[in-house]
Amino acid sequence: MKKFILSFLIMALSVNLFAKDQQILPLENDIYDYIDYVYILDSKIPPTSAKPYSIGQMKVYLNEIDYNSLNKTARKYYNFILEELNKEDLDIKLDNYSSIDVEATSGLEMYSHTNTVDTTTFRDWVYDQEDRIPLLKLNLKLSVDDIFFTTSELQYMQGKYEPSDSSNYYVEDEDFYDTYTDGQSFGAIATFTDSITYSTKAEQYTKAFSTNIPSASKYIDFDTPKRAIIAVGGKNINFNYSRDKINWGNSILGNFIYDDHIKHNFLNLKVYSSNFNINNTVAFLNTKTSSGEDPDDKIKMFLAHRLEFMPLDFFRFAVSENVMYVDDKSNFLYFNPSYIYHNINMRGMFNAIASLETEVLLFNRVNWYSQFVLDQARAPNEDDSQSGAWGLSSGLNYIIPVKEDILSLSVEGLYTLPCLYRRDIVDFIVFDRTFVINQSYVIEPTFIGYEEGGDTVAFKIQAEYDKLNKFKALLYYSLTLKGEVDIFTPLHEENDGSYTNDGKPNYGEQIFKNGVYSAKHIIHSALNYTMYNNNNLNISNITTLSYIYYQQFKPTSDTYNDFQFSTGIKIKY
């Protein structure tokens, strides 16, 4: 009888507790892992890997689970998800339909490492700027019934860069300029006249010891709010305009189309059910590659649509077809998400990229997943003036219940050809601009998907142990073999053997050309320990320890290593 009553209450809650269905859950929320655990323990393939979800979407996936069929461990995680989705922070009821929630977080954190010479930017840290705890964070949320949601996440923290940091104007890079004077610098949009300012040495990441406390107001991060979302929708549909992270895929090395190493400003229309998911996004990308405050003279957008199906309980697949769109004005003629983007045959404005993602529950609690991305291939009736460009990743995940806890084991490999994301007119390089007081803007170039880009072979093995409401421990080893082709490498070879970046990429499909590559080994551990927790207050300790060993093979044989350590206290009100 007791079990019957509990089951009845769970079913009732799963239907009725959600009054904020359009609220978007941040990617850092552990319930994304927990819903996967519940599905795998119930012998089902996990739900869509296109994240973030809305609460309403999470509700649909939870309602597909038969609570009575779950074992004790799965029920524990299922109940936790329900409680988290129903949790109200400082909830102020405005009337019967609308409410304001306020979530406050504060933290103190310190960072230390041994190599103050070679570790020069935030990307050189395993526990980097995107992971670190802000000194203060205030998350303001407004919900109207289950049709409207908006949030603004304000932070006070140390900025990525400081006025005293070392920067470089890429056009003044003499080695590059002397060799490639008739070409573009890096990126199809960025020309030599743009004087691209990029950071070569950020002081706070070289220091042997530092904290998250800004030593002066001029060092704070002006890039706030970090998340800003407005969303509307109804049953099985969500439309939002967001500044947020996106993930399309479950890779632990990095996803090819959208990856969470950068934030985007984007429109997203998502329609979903238990076995079907459609995503249409338009990401609005920065075109300013100078440090000045001049108006934009171009537009750059990433138009992406993704269809996902789960025809069987143990099999899920997704296809996406996407284009980068660059022009000096926008034309809504090209925005129809039901159109086939590859049929817009205008190289001067568009570049297409497609992907296929598959996931199979092979047998009890073992999940196989893969991604394939196609950037460039020779179609019938096309010449071979451009090199092929594609990437492939594949991995296994094994979920092991340990009493009422979860041990997750993963192994994954990745392979990319040199010209992935790179083109002469429209490419897949994005420029993140960060404002620094007394210095204007610093440009951070990166790829829209997998952060390392092409000419890469990578491997990772990972173990994660989760003791619900107590601690989460992570340990992994990764190896990244990186060839000479990166954002800065010109890809077009002239007849005289010289290279430029304004011709069609013909670098070839051979990775590690001429034997030039580097190897980066990383051993990383992290522990997130809950020291105190009740409905209104959570205090946790986050500690990380990492070791990096880097070795260059040709044209030099440079090596370096670095031990990195961080620890801090996070208080959530």
- What lies within 8 Å, CB to CB, of 222 at 6+ separation is 159, 435, 436, 437
Which conformational region is residue 381 in: left (phi greater than 0), alpha (psi within -120 to 50 degrees), or beta?
left
Mean pLDDT of 492-503: 72
Asked if the model's pLDDT at residue 509 lies above 50, the reply is yes
Mean pLDDT of 344-361: 90
pLDDT band at 376 (very low <50, low <70, confident <90, very high): confident
- CB burial of residue 181 (10 Å; 0-12, 13-18, 19+): exposed
Distance CA 421, CA 49 (A): 22
pLDDT for residue 108: 95
Tally of structural domains, the chain? 1
pLDDT for residue 198: 67
- CB burial of residue 290 (10 Å; 0-12, 13-18, 19+): middle
Mean pLDDT of 440-460: 90
CA distances from 106 to 134, 135, 140 (A): 7, 5, 15
pTM, two decimals, is 0.89
Q: Which residues pair with 290 in a beta bridge?
A: 196
Structural element, H or E, at residue 482: strand 471-483
Closest to 98 (Cα-Cα) out of 54, 149, 61: 149
**Regarding predicted confidence, which is higher, 174 or 232?**
232
Closest to 410 (Cα-Cα) out of 358, 364, 476, 458: 476
pLDDT for residue 99: 86
pLDDT for residue 544: 97
Structural element, H or E, at residue 368: strand 366-376
Asked if the model's pLDDT at residue 15 lies above 50, the reply is no
Residue ranges making up the domain that contains 408: 2-572
Distance CA 106, CA 134 (A): 7
Q: Which of 154-168, 401-415, 536-550 has the lowest mean pLDDT?
A: 154-168
pLDDT for residue 72: 93
pLDDT for residue 1: 43
pLDDT per residue over 67-118, tens digit each?
999 999 999 999 999 988 887 666 788 888 888 888 899 999 999 999 999 9
Mean pLDDT of 420-441: 83
How far out from the chain centre does Cα 220 lie?
23
pLDDT for residue 381: 63
Q: DSSP character for 59?
A: H
Top mean-pLDDT range of 2-11, 88-97, 161-170, 520-529: 520-529
pLDDT for residue 183: 40
Cis preceding linkage at 401, omega within 30: no
Mean pLDDT of the chain: 86
| Percent of the chain whose predicted confidence (pLDDT) is above 90 | 57
Q: In the chain, how many H helices and how many E strands?
A: 6, 28
pLDDT for residue 88: 66
Mean pLDDT of 242-269: 95
**Regarding predicted confidence, which is higher, 324 or 94?**
324
Asked if the model's pLDDT at residue 191 lies above 70, the reply is no
CA distances from 150 to 59, 100, 238 (A): 19, 10, 13
Q: Are 69 and 98 within 8 A, CB to CB?
A: no
Q: Which residues pair with 315 in a beta bridge?
A: 312, 360
pLDDT band at 405 (very low <50, low <70, confident <90, very high): very high
Cis preceding linkage at 225, omega within 30: yes
Backbone angles phi, psi at 70, to 5 degrees: -80, 145
pLDDT for residue 181: 38
Mean pLDDT of 306-333: 92
pLDDT for residue 237: 95
pLDDT for residue 343: 76
Distance CA 253, CA 458 (A): 8
Asked if the model's pLDDT at residue 317 lies above 70, the reply is yes
Asked if the model's pLDDT at residue 310 lies above 90, the reply is yes
pLDDT per residue over 261-274, tens digit each?
999 999 999 999 99
pLDDT per residue over 140-190, tens digit each?
999 998 899 999 999 998 888 877 766 655 544 444 444 443 444 556 655
Q: What CATH number is given to the structural domain containing 501? A: 2.40.160.130
Distance CA 180, CA 413 (A): 35
Mean pLDDT of 10-23: 57
Which residue type is seen at 399? I
**Regarding predicted confidence, which is higher, 563 or 446?**
563
